[in-house]
Amino acid sequence: MLRPLLVASVSGALAVTLASPVLAVPAAFEVRTRAVPARAVLASPASVTDGSEAASDDGTAGGTLVQSIDAYYGNRFAPVCQAARIESARFVHYGYGLAGPYAFRLHVVDTTCGEIGVTPVLTTAGAPDLVTTAEVDLSPYGWCVSGEFLLLLEPLTCADGPTGHDCFPAVVVDASTDGDAAAHCATVSVLAGAERQCFAARSADGRYFDFGLRVGLQCVAPECATGLEDTTWSGAKRLYRDPSPASRD
């Protein structure tokens, strides 16, 4: 039986405090969660078979956040090799009756919450009745990473229209939660004045979790072997880019 993440019913909602930021930022932010009904879950995401997909979730569907249009949602990742090229993304989402398609963008972000790259606006089929998996090809963008990075989804289709307080695709979070912040990777990026800050998501009772968002990496990528010169962001983040990436919109 499906175990809800933080609430006992689909209509219920619980405030969650975003604490323990990825970097030490003395601020807090509150979001709401809601459960995914058991009847909407047919199967867990497919297992990784070739070791090329990085994942932090356990494949269960524990609920979603009630997402805002001005926030980004995803996980922290770290490639197991010295440098890797980002090839793809895969995320599990649920629409609570909202017909699709849903528009979104994906952001690659460094550990200071500085943006490294962003896709154009993309769309995925709606998931009004069943938990659904979406796949995105990221190979044209030439993004290379070494060390920790973040992959975050920006939801752009909102059930409440321009108000933007209930937006999709709503990425599912897993049902495995505990108080060990180091064991979980769910991250939310929010605006703080003119800048963005990234926070690790923590429930009001101190539990952490992971989003059902995964990233495909190619470790054998010669174009990722040399890093860019440090410019406007910290060289300590060790993020790299293909020196001749494909053009983007």
Q: For the chain, what are the domain ranges? A: 14-36+52-241
Residue bearing the bigger pLDDT, 39 or 164 = 164
What gap in Å lies between CA 190 and CA 154, rounded to an integer? 11
* Cβ–Cβ < 8 Å for 95, 127: yes
Residue 202 has pLDDT above 80, yes or no: no
Quick count: other Cβ atoms within 10 Å of Cβ 5? 26
Share of the chain above pLDDT 70, in %: 73
What gap in Å lies between CA 140 and CA 161, rounded to an integer? 31
Q: How confident is the model at residue 178 (pLDDT cuts 50, 70, 90)?
A: confident
Q: Amino acid identity of 188?
A: V
What six digits make up the tokens of 125? 């089929």
Residue 99, pLDDT score: 94
E strand map for 37-100: 53-54, 63-66, 72-77, 84-94
Angstrom CA distances, 20 to 23, 113, 136, 189, stand at 8, 14, 30, 13
Residue 92 has pLDDT above 50, yes or no: yes
Backbone angles phi, psi at 207, to 5 degrees: -100, 145
What gap in Å lies between CA 241 and CA 68, rounded to an integer? 29
* Cβ–Cβ < 8 Å for 171, 214: no
What residues have CB less than 8 Å from 146, skipping those under 6 apart?
79, 82, 83, 84, 224, 227, 238, 239, 240
Mean of pLDDT over the chain:
75
Residue 229 has pLDDT above 70, yes or no: no
Residue 248 has pLDDT above 70, yes or no: no
Residue 50, helix vs strand vs coil:
coil
